[in-house]
Chain A
C-alpha cells in the first residue's frame, strides 16, 4: 500500500505537511512553480501567512484550526490568496490541502502554469476553458451589440431627418421645443413659406421642385448658426428654431437675407427659376410664458400677415395679430391656395 505522504505527492499538487515543530516537511509539486525556493525545512508561519479564520502564532494555534477552511497566502506572493483545509496528520502535525480557488485564472497567468500542474481530477481545466470561452462569447456579444446600436442610432437619425433636404422634421422640432420648455432659454422661431413654389413644381415637375427645396435648405444652412435647428415642416414650409437669439436687429437681418437669397433667380437645367419666401417671426420674450406649440403658431400667424402684406417680406408677431389663425380675416386654406 502506498504511504500517505507518497499518495499526497501523487494526488495533491498543492498540499503542505507541517511537522510538530512547525516546520514544513513536504510540499506538493505545484509550489515549485510559484516563484518559491524549496520551502521544505522552513517554519510554516514564516513562509505562509494565515489570514482567516484566525491568525495563528504557534503550532498549537495552527492545530486548533484542524477541520476548518483556511484563507492564507504566501508571504512572497501577498496578492494571491489561497484557500484550503487543515487536516490532523495524527502525529502532532498538520496537513494543509490548498487550492487557488477563483484566483486560479490569475495564478495560471502569473506563474505560467500548465495542465500538468493540476490534478487530472481537478476541474480547473474546465474552469479555464469556460473562462476563455466566455471571453470569446462576450466579445462576439459585444460586437453584435455595437453593430445593433449603430443601426439604432442611424435609424433614429433617419427618423428625425427629412430624407430629401437632410433638414430635421417635425418630430425633431417637437423634441427641441420640449427641451427648450424645460429650460429658461429664450428663443426665436422663424416660420418660412416659399412663394410661387407650387407653380414651379406644377409646371417643371417634381424633380425640379426637389432641386429647389435642396437649394433652399442649403441657403438656410449657410445663414444659420450651428445651434439653430432647421426643419422642413411641410411641402414648402420651413421652420428655423434659434435658441438664445432674441435680438430683433439680428433676426431682421437673418429673415431679410434668407428672403433675399432665396428670391435670387437661379438657373436649373434650361430654366431660370424665380421663387420667393415670406417669413413670420416669433420671439419668446415678447410674451410671458407661452407653450412651444403656441410660439410656433404665432410665428405662423405672423407668416400669414406677411403674405397678406404682399409676400417677399417678414413680420414679427405682435399682439394685434391675435393668437389664432382664425382671428385673421383671411382663412388659412384660402391663403395657402394663393401661394
Chain B
C-alpha cells in the first residue's frame, strides 16, 4: 500500500493530537516502523491495525478520525496542493461531485501505485447526490465525507453530507446541496501555486 496513505495518517495524528499520541498508536499497533515515508510502499495489513490503535489512543471511533483526516487534508496549509488539485475538478461544488468518478484515475495519473476505491456518483434528484465507494482501502468513504464537507465550505456551498454505511460492499454517501452561494467562495486561480513558488 502506498506510503502516502500512511504518511497522511501520521501527519494528521501527530499534528492534530501531538507526536506523543502518534508514538503511542504506533507502539500499540506493533508496527516495525516508527515513521512512514510518503514515497515508499508498505504492507497493507498495517492500516487496519494502525487505525484501530489510533481509535484506542484517541478514544474516538475510527469513522470520526477518518472524517477529520479528510477535512484536515483540505484545510491544513501543509496540504494546500490537495485542495488545489481538487479544485481543478470543477467550477462549482456540484461540478466537483460529478468529477469524482475520475478521482481514482486522476490520482493514479499523479501518483502511480496509489490505489483508491472506485467511485460512482449519481444525481437521481437535482442537487441530491449518491456516492458509492467500492474497494480498498475500506473506510475511504469517511475520508471522502470529511474532504467533501471541507470542499463545500471552500466553494461557499451549503451541503449536508452523510455516510450511510455499507451497502452491497460499497460505502454509501448521501450529499444534499442546499445552497450554492451560502458563503464566499475561497476562490481558485490556475496560477496560485506557481506564483507562490516563483515570487
> Which residues of A come within 8 Å of B, CB atoms?
105, 108-109, 112-116, 125, 128-130, 132-137, 140-141, 144, 147
Contact = CB atoms under 8 A, between A and B. Distances in A.
A137 B110 contact: yes
B190 interface: yes
B38 interface: yes
A105 B109 CA distance: 18
Contacts of A113: 190-191
Contacts of B189: 112, 114
Given A113-B190, A128-B190, A144 B81 contact: no
A141 B85 CA distance: 18
B88 A128 contact: yes
A108 B38 contact: no
A129 B197 contact: no
A129 B88 contact: yes
B84 interface: yes
Contact of A135 (B39, B91, B197): B197
A144 B41 CA distance: 13
A132 B84 contact: yes
A108 B88 contact: no
B191 A109 contact: yes
A132 B193 CA distance: 8
B195 interface: yes
Given A112-B189, A129-B88, A147-B37, 14 more contacts: A105-B194, A108-B191, A109-B190, A109-B191, A114-B189, A128-B88, A129-B85, A132-B85, A132-B193, A133-B85, A137-B110, A140-B38, A144-B39, A144-B40
B190 A140 contact: no
Contacts, number: 53
A114 B190 contact: yes
Which of the listed residues B39, B85, B193 has the most CB atoms from chain A within 10 Å of its own CB? B39
> Closest 3 A-B residue pairs measured CB to CB?
A133-B110, A136-B81, A129-B88
A222 B135 CA distance: 66
B190 A108 contact: yes
A9 B121 CA distance: 33
Contacts of A141: 39
Interface in B80-97: 81, 84-85, 88, 91
A107 to B, nearest CB: 10
Nearest to A140: B38
A109 B85 CA distance: 16
Interface residues of B, number: 21
A20 B163 CA distance: 63
20 contacts: A109-B191, A109-B194, A109-B195, A112-B190, A113-B191, A115-B91, A115-B190, A116-B91, A129-B106, A132-B81, A132-B88, A133-B109, A133-B111, A134-B110, A135-B197, A136-B81, A144-B37, A144-B38, A144-B40, A147-B37
A64 B168 CA distance: 64
A103 to B, nearest CB: 13
Contacts of A134: 110
A79 to B, nearest CB: 15
Contacts of B198: 109
B103 to A, nearest CB: 12
Interface string B94-114: 000000000000100111000
Nearest to B111: A137
Contacts of A147: 37
B95 to A, nearest CB: 10
A60 to B, nearest CB: 40
A125 B37 CA distance: 30
A147 B35 CA distance: 13
Nearest to B80: A136
Contacts of B81: 132-133, 136
B88 A125 contact: yes
B73 to A, nearest CB: 13
Contact of B110 (A116, A125, A130): A130
Contact of B193 (A125, A130, A135, A144): A135
Interface in B141-199: 189-191, 193-195, 197-198
A130 B198 CA distance: 18
A116 B95 CA distance: 14
B36 to A, nearest CB: 11
